Structure 1
Amino acid sequence: MRKTFRIKKPEEFQQVFNQHHSFANKYFVVYRMDRPAAKHFRLGLSVGKRIGKAHDRVWVKRRIRQAFLELKPQLPQDQDILVIARPAVAGKSQAFIKKQVKHVLKIAGIIEDNTNANS
């Protein structure tokens, strides 16, 4: 995922948190903020130390980014999205993480619930 698609600065994270449109499942918490003039969505990731050591946290981040790359055509281009990983996600497979990311994005209303589409 290119750097233009990422939220990195603490001020940008705080701006999305202050909007406080949050949605959650057992594995992830998602915050979203509309940006009407945006050319593309941006993604911010937070994976805390309760997930595990540094290599475990990087492993989880990579899988979340990959899930978003695969879901990119379904995502609206005018939003900032923050994903906070919960400890239960540690050690899960790529397919499982993608399924749970898709689930929490449906709860958040970011992507549409398409039961006929392939996962």
Structure 2
Amino acid sequence: MKKSYRVKKEKEFQQVFLNKQSCANRRFVIYVLKKEQQHFRVGISVGKKIGNAVTRNAVKRKIRTALYTLKDQIDETCDFIVIARPGVQELTSEEVLKNLTHALNLAKILKVSEE
């Protein structure tokens, strides 16, 4: 994803966390902050409980790929953070997409429900 689609700074992460709007399933936690902007922005957080750096980066790549697939369905007016929970490292890319779609639907970020 382009740099403009990312939440990168600590201050931006804290703004989303302090909004306290979150939804979760077994694999992901999603924090949402609605705001007026041209396109959505996403931050990805994968903690050390997931595994070593190689494993964490592989999980981030799978999440980015899933988000890129869902890009056209995501509401433009929000910043959101995706936090991976332990166990996500064992999922295939298709399973990550399915679980992430479910979590985004719970958070009401997707425009069109795919269920």
TM-score bracket relative to the smaller structure: over 0.9
- Please provide the CA RMSD for this pair: 0.8
Q: Which runs of structure 2 are paired with 1:54-73 in the superposition (5 Å)?
A: 54-73=53-72
Q: Which amino acid aligns with 2:79?
A: D
Q: Which amino acid aligns with 1:54?
A: A
5+ residue gaps, structure 1 = none
Match in the other structure for 1:94: 93
Task: Give TM-score, length-normalised by structure 2.
Answer: 0.96
Q: CA deviation at 1:80?
A: 0.2
Q: Which amino acid aligns with 1:64?
A: I
Q: CA deviation at 1:64?
A: 0.3
Secondary structure, aligned partner of 1:31: strand
Task: Give TM-score, length-normalised by structure 1.
Answer: 0.93
5+ residue gaps, structure 2 = none
Distance in 2 of aligned mates of 1:70 and 1:114: 13
Distance in 2 of aligned mates of 1:80 and 1:113: 19
Distance in 1 of aligned mates of 2:86 and 2:38: 33
1:48 aligns with 2:25: no
Identity %: 44
1:75 aligns with 2:35: no
Match in the other structure for 1:84: 83
